[in-house]
Amino acid sequence: MNWTGAVRTMLVCAILIVLHYTLRPLLAWRASIDFLIVALLLGSVRLRPGAAAVYGFLLGLVADSIAVSPFGAAALAMSIVGFGASWLKAVFFADNLALNGFFLFLAKWIFDLIFLIVGHRAIDPELAMQIFVWSPLAAAVTALAGVVVLSLLKPLMDVRTT
Amino acid sequence: MATAARYGSRVDAGLLVGCVVLSLIAVVLKDEDREPIASALRRSIVAPLVGLQRGAERWRSAWVTSEQRQLASDSIAIRGIKEQAALVENDQLRKIVGLGSRLEWGFIPAEAVHSAAPSEDVVTNMTLTAGSVAGVQRYNPVVAPEGLVGVVQTADPTMSVAILYTSPDFRASAMSADASAFGIVYPHTGRGSAAYMLELRGVPTRVQLKPGTQIFTSGLGGTFPRGISIGTVVSELKTTEPWTRTYLLRPSVSPSHVTTVLVLTAQRVTQGTGNVWGAAVNTDSATRRIVAANDSMARQAALIEAQARRAALDSVRRATIDSVRRSLGAAVVPEPTDARDTTRARRDSARADTIRKRPT
């Protein structure tokens, strides 16, 4: 990745992070869009897995510091998801929006799964409801939003590492 | 090359493990230990994001508040409209109750359901919620507190259909309030608001009605009883008829405002409705009754005076007879209580006294 591409990626990730803390509270949906996951995947696929894990860790720390959730849960989940996304970047970079959407969905669900299990520390019906109802819904919404963002920002990104 | 790749993989795995371990340490930290870290992040690197989130939440709460205010003002407006509708309905029901109490008997209350087809410009009929089971019959008049609404066209067991005065089939024999002018009321053939007007046709040319003159049913023909308000004269219409006049009437009842009506029974039509709608014709008839009553009182007074005069003459006559008797030396018969009988008895006794007895 050249410098121009890196700057563009950072810019897009910054926009997504800003959107996460502006648009998301405005919408206030029960199953909300997670722009941080989109930013994480977008950056991770352009980094080595180790760097992606660090990127995820830092992004997770930011999320943990602002949210009331258990500190460190998002950092752990995002580290794993970032590492996995970077490791699977060949698949992710397939020029297929549906496949990208599926991986966004999978990433968000895995993130929620790790985050909820680590955060709750106990399995109860509410956790099951969250994992099997609200998390898939949020993952679907995030995947949809991610696909839209990828489509819109494709001309700006214009980076292919095939 | 392969060694570098293996080294890179180890570094990646090491970084992942490091991140995971750090994250787990953060998770298992106690609240008092983790809060300073989170707070330091919020005050430094994450501060702009915190500011953005706070601003977005303020916008959100302002939007929700304004939405709630809008909802509250909407619900207040809806409540106001409903209250207004309830007041209008209450007023109509009060009027109907008032009409019912004035009529006292011979009517069937019914709700009026307007059944105008979308293609119709004018409402010409309405469905009533009372039918033949309740006593509604064909050609029964349909009235409202303000006056005449129409006439029942069909009466099913549980519902009936009435034609309004706007229907082309509607006719009513009518007269002016002072009963000086008679005619037939027809629906006015016009468009828009004029379609709800009426025409009073066949009024003799010698009779001229002023605008504002009240028109009532005349009771002729037997369909409508005398004295139901139909409308008021608006103006005279120019026609080709040389011997009669035609007047434009403003109906007393607006069909769109009618929700509850009374159907007058055939018996009530026969017996009349009296002065329910304040018809001057009824006042006139009342005046006639009062005049007639005065006449009978005068006759009775004259009769009493004549009797008194006759009694006075009788007493004068009696006094004269008594004085004659006294002068002739005859006994005076005491005066009985009953004047008529005493007269007769006195005549008899006078004859008996005055007849001289034959010498034996």
| Domain extents in chain A | 3-155
pLDDT of A161 reads: 44
Residue B322 burial (10 A CB sphere; 0-12, 13-18, 19+):
middle
Residue numbers in B near A50 (CB within 8 A): 8, 11-16
Contacts of B237 (CB under 8 A, 6+ apart): B199, B246, B247, B248
A57-61, B328-332, B354-358: which has the minimum mean pLDDT? B354-358
B98 domain residue, yes or no: no
Grouping H, G, I as helix, E, B as strand and the rest as coil, residue B301 is helix
CB B232 within 8 A of CB B209: no
> In 3D, which of B138, B145, B153, B215 has the Cα closest to residue B180?
B215
B21 domain residue, yes or no: no
Instruction: Name the pLDDT band for B173 (thresholds 50, 70, 90).
Output: very high
CB B349 within 8 A of CB B335: no
pLDDT of A74 reads: 92
How far apart CA A63 and CA B22 sit, in angstroms, is: 15
**A54–B25 CB contact, under 8 Å:** no
Phi, psi for A54 (deg, rounded to 5): -65, -45
pLDDT of B233 reads: 92
pLDDT of A79 reads: 94
Q: Is the pLDDT of residue B335 over 70?
A: no
Grouping H, G, I as helix, E, B as strand and the rest as coil, residue B196 is helix
* Average pLDDT value for residue range A145-157: 81
Q: Is the pLDDT of residue A138 over 90?
A: yes
Q: Is the pLDDT of residue B36 over 90?
A: no
| Range 18-57 of B in CB contact (< 8 A) with A | 19-20, 22-29, 34-35, 37-38, 41-42, 45-46, 49-50, 52-53, 55-57
How far apart CA B325 and CA B333 sit, in angstroms, is: 10
How much is the ipTM here?
Answer: 0.85
A54-63, B63-72, B308-317: which has the minimum mean pLDDT? B308-317
How many distinct structural domains can be found in chain B? Answer: 2
Q: Is B88 on the interface with A (CB under 8 A)?
A: no
CATH number for the domain formed by residue range(s) A3-155: 1.10.1760
B49 domain residue, yes or no: no
Percent of chain B that is helix, strand, coil (3-state, to 5): 50, 20, 30
Grouping H, G, I as helix, E, B as strand and the rest as coil, residue B263 is strand
Q: Which helix (H) or strand (E) holds A162?
A: none
Do residues B221 and B302 both lie within one domain?
no
* Average pLDDT value for residue range A42-64: 91
CB pairs under 8 A between A and B: 104
Give the relative orientation of helices B47-103 and B31-43 as an angle to the nearest 10 degrees: 90
Residue numbers in B near A66 (CB within 8 A): 42, 46, 49-50, 53
Which of B278, B310, B331 marks a domain boundary?
Answer: B278
> In 3D, which of A93, A111, A87, A97 has the Cα closest to residue A145?
A97
B28 domain residue, yes or no: no
Q: Is the pLDDT of residue B343 over 50?
A: no
pLDDT of B318 reads: 77
How far apart CA B317 and CA B295 sit, in angstroms, is: 33
- Decide: pTM greater than 0.90: no
Q: Which residue would you say has higher pLDDT here, B58 or B279? A: B58
B273 domain residue, yes or no: yes
* Average pLDDT value for residue range B181-210: 85
Instruction: Name the pLDDT band for B347 (thresholds 50, 70, 90).
Output: very low
How far apart CA B333 and CA B345 sit, in angstroms, is: 10
Shortest distance between the Cα of A4 and any Cα of chain B, in A, equals 24
Q: B278: left (phi > 0), else alpha (psi -120 to 50), else beta?
A: left
Do residues B251 and B192 both lie within one domain?
yes
Q: Is the pLDDT of residue B297 over 50?
A: yes
Contacts of B116 (CB under 8 A, 6+ apart): B122, B123, B124
Q: Which residue would you say has higher pLDDT here, B165 or B340? A: B165
B83 domain residue, yes or no: no
> In 3D, which of B190, B194, B201 has the Cα closest to residue B246?
B201
Range of the domain at B150: 105-278
> In 3D, which of A25, A23, A33 has the Cα closest to residue A147?
A33
Residue numbers in B near A57 (CB within 8 A): 19, 22-23
Which of B248, B278, B308 marks a domain boundary?
Answer: B278
Q: Which residue would you say has higher pLDDT here, B284 or B308? A: B308
Interface test with A, best of B6, B9, B12, B42 (most A CBs within 10 A): B12
Q: Is the pLDDT of residue B298 over 60?
A: yes
Do residues B171 and B242 both lie within one domain?
yes
Structure-token match 């502006």, residue found: A22
Residue of chain B nearest A71, judged by CA positions: B27
Which of B243, B278, B313 marks a domain boundary?
Answer: B278
For A101-110, the pLDDT digits (tens) are 898 999 999 9
B50-64, B173-187, B237-251, B310-324: which has the minimum mean pLDDT? B310-324
Contacts of B182 (CB under 8 A, 6+ apart): B173, B174, B175, B176, B202, B203, B218, B220
Q: Is the pLDDT of residue B260 over 90?
A: no
Average pLDDT, chain B: 81
* Average pLDDT value for residue range B111-140: 80
Q: Residue B169 is part of a domain; what is its CATH number?
A: 2.40.10.350
Residue numbers in A near B50 (CB within 8 A): 66
How far apart CA A60 and CA B19 sit, in angstroms, is: 10
